[in-house]
Chains A and B, each alone.
Chain A
Amino acid sequence: MKIVHYLNQFFVGLGGEEAAGHPPEFREGPVGPGIRLNELLGEAGQVVGTIFAGDNYFSMNSSTSAEVVEGLLRALDADLLIAGPAFNAGRYGMACGEVCSVAIDRLGLPALMAMSENNPAVELHRAEIPILRTSDSTGGMGQALEDLAAGASSYLGSDGGWSAASSLLLSRGIRLNEVSPDRGSKRAIDLLLSKIEGHPCLTEWPLPDYDIVQPSALEATNTEPVLALVTEGGLVPSGNPDRLNSGRADRWFRYSVERVASLMSEEFEVIHGGIDTSASNENPNWMVPLDMARKQEPKGGFSLHEYVYSTTGNQGSMPAMRRIGDEIAAELHNAGVHAVIATST
Chain B
Amino acid sequence: MPLELAYYDISKITFGNKTYLDGSSLVINHDELRAHLLEDDHFEDVTLHVAHPGDSLRVINVVDAVEPRCRLGGGNADFPGFLSTPQTVGKGRTAVLRGAAVVEVAEPVPGESTYWREAFFDMTDSCSGFSPFSDLANLVVDVKPAKYLRDDTRPPLNVFEGTPEAVSLNRAIRAAGLKASVYMASAAAGSEPNEVATFDLPTSPNPDLPGVVYLYQLSIPYIYGEIEPGGGAIGGPAHLPTMVHPNEILDGALVCGWNAIACMRELTYVVQNHPIIHDLYARSGKDLEFLGVVLFTNGDTRESKERLTGHATTLAQLLKPDGAIINYAGGGHPCVDTMMICQKLEQSGIPTTVLSMEMAPNPSDSGFVHFVREADLIISTGNYEESFSFPQVDAVIGGTSLLNAESSPSGPFSYPLSGLLGSTNQFGFTNVTARSH
Contacts and interface: CB of A to CB of B under 8 A. Distances in A.
B236 interface: no
A175 B386 contact: yes
A186 B276 CA distance: 7
Given A178-B433, A178-B434, A205-B358, A192 B367 contact: no
Q: What class of interface size applies to chain B in its complex with A?
A: 35 or more
A182 B388 CA distance: 21
Contact of B364 (A177, A204, A207, A317): A317
A177 B432 contact: yes
A300 interface: no
Interface stretch (B23-31, B294-302, B368-376): B368-376
A201 B323 CA distance: 15
A171 B367 CA distance: 16
B428 A192 contact: no
B280 to A, nearest CB: 7
Interface in A180-212: 180-189, 191-193, 195-196, 201, 203-208
Contacts of A158: none
Nearest to A317: B364
Contacts of A186: 275, 279, 428
A208 B365 CA distance: 10
Given A183-B429, A184-B379, A195 B363 contact: no
A206 B434 CA distance: 11
A318 B362 CA distance: 13
Contacts of B280: 189
Contacts of B288: 189, 193
A127 B387 CA distance: 14
Contact of A192 (B212, B373, B383): B212
A323 to B, nearest CB: 15
B261 interface: no
B323 A193 contact: yes
B431 A184 contact: yes
Contacts of A184: 275, 355, 379-381, 425, 427-433
A188 B432 CA distance: 13
Interface in B260-304: 275-276, 278-280, 283, 287-288
Contacts of B436: 171, 173-175, 206
A213 interface: no
B331 to A, nearest CB: 17
Contacts of A175: 358, 360, 367, 380, 383, 386, 434-437
Nearest to B358: A175
A176 interface: yes
B322 A188 contact: no
Contacts of B316: none
Contacts of A178: 432-435
Contacts of A317: 363-364
A75 B413 CA distance: 34
A176 B210 contact: no
Contacts of B157: none
Given A177-B383, A178-B433, A185-B427, A204 B278 contact: no
Given A176-B437, A180-B431, A193-B323, A127 B362 contact: yes
Contacts of B430: 183-184
A315 to B, nearest CB: 6
A208 B366 contact: yes
Interface in B381-437: 381-383, 386, 388, 417, 425, 427-437
Contacts of A192: 212, 323-325, 351-353, 377
B433 A173 contact: no
B129 interface: yes
Contacts of B279: 183, 185-186, 189
A203 B378 contact: yes
B279 to A, nearest CB: 5
B133 interface: no
B322 A176 contact: no
A306 interface: no
A27 interface: no
Contact of A196 (B322, B376, B434): B322
A293 B201 CA distance: 64
B325 A188 contact: yes
Contact of B360 (A126, A174, A183, A316): A174
B377 A203 contact: yes
Nearest to A202: B377
B294 to A, nearest CB: 15
A81 B356 CA distance: 40
Contacts of B323: 192-193, 195-196
Contacts of A318: 364
B437 A189 contact: no
10 contacts: A176-B437, A178-B433, A183-B429, A184-B430, A186-B279, A186-B428, A189-B283, A191-B353, A205-B378, A205-B434
Identify the 4 closest CB pairs spanning chains A and B, nearest first. Answer: A184-B428, A173-B363, A185-B275, A185-B428
Given A183-B431, A185-B279, A208-B371, 10 more contacts: A175-B358, A179-B431, A184-B379, A185-B276, A188-B276, A189-B288, A204-B378, A204-B435, A205-B380, A208-B368
Interface of B: 129-130, 210, 212, 275-276, 278-280, 283, 287-288, 322-325, 351-353, 355-356, 358, 360, 362-364, 366-368, 371, 373, 375-383, 386, 388, 417, 425, 427-437
